[in-house]
Amino acid sequence: MKPIKACIFDLDGVIVDTAKYHFLAWQRLAQELGITFTEHDNERLKGVSRVESLKIILEIGNKTIAEAEFESAMARKNGWFLDYIHQMTPEEVLPGVQKFLDELKSQNIKIALASSSKNAETILQQIGMLAYFEAIIDGNQVIETKPNPEIFLKAARAIDEKPENCIVFEDAIAGVEAAINGGFRVVGIGLPEVLGEADWVVRGFEGFGLANLQSILQ
């Protein structure tokens, strides 16, 4: 069994859930544009870029807007999203995460973050978790998006570890694929029927510790 020298975490859906704030910001924009946008519609936006997300919303409302208005609309949405995340608190950390990170720290296992979010550092600051991470690679530092492994490879390099000695924790199909493509072992956080390509899948970190991780690695 290869040793666990480092753990690399995605942010949204793994450590905290900011998806609800994206939904609220998109819904507010849709209302401005006279479009009804529901949580069911929002499923189509998961893992999709800001540009494509707005195109989907316009398609739902059967509307078109000029290019200048399109850019302005995306900027407004992002501004509202930033307002929401600046109100986040440590209570929003997902169950079991802090205890698991404390256990990794106590065993001198390196911890890194690999998140496509361009606001990752702000979010970690808000939820009081910035100090846990020895390296943070976010959307500002990568060119290729998941399932390209660039973000995880950069995170591994930043903490001076080889991919085979790192465990990646991911909640999205593209993220799981990115980790596999980079030569990492990967634990999916969510449902086995969705994240079946991961080496192992767990529902979340509640009741999950280093002993659980080591046993599934065996």
How many Cβ atoms from other residues are within 10 Å of residue 78's Cβ?
16
Q: Which strands make up the sheet holding 166-170, listed edge to edge? A: 135-137, 110-114, 6-9, 166-170, 185-189, 200-202
The first and second tokens of residue 163, run together, are 């991919």
Residue 111, φ and ψ in degrees, nearest 5: -130, 130
The residues carrying an active-site annotation are 10, 12
Q: Which H or E run includes 214?
A: helix 210-217
Cα distances (Å, whole numbers) of residue 64 to 123, 159, 196: 33, 46, 38
Strands (E) across 2-131 are located at 6-9, 110-114
The DSSP secondary structure of 159-203, one letter per residue, reads TT--GGGEEEEE-SHHHHHHHHHTT-EEEEES-TTTSTTSSEEES
**111, β-bridge pairs:** 7
* Residue 207 DSSP SS3: coil
Q: Report the residue count for the chain.
A: 218
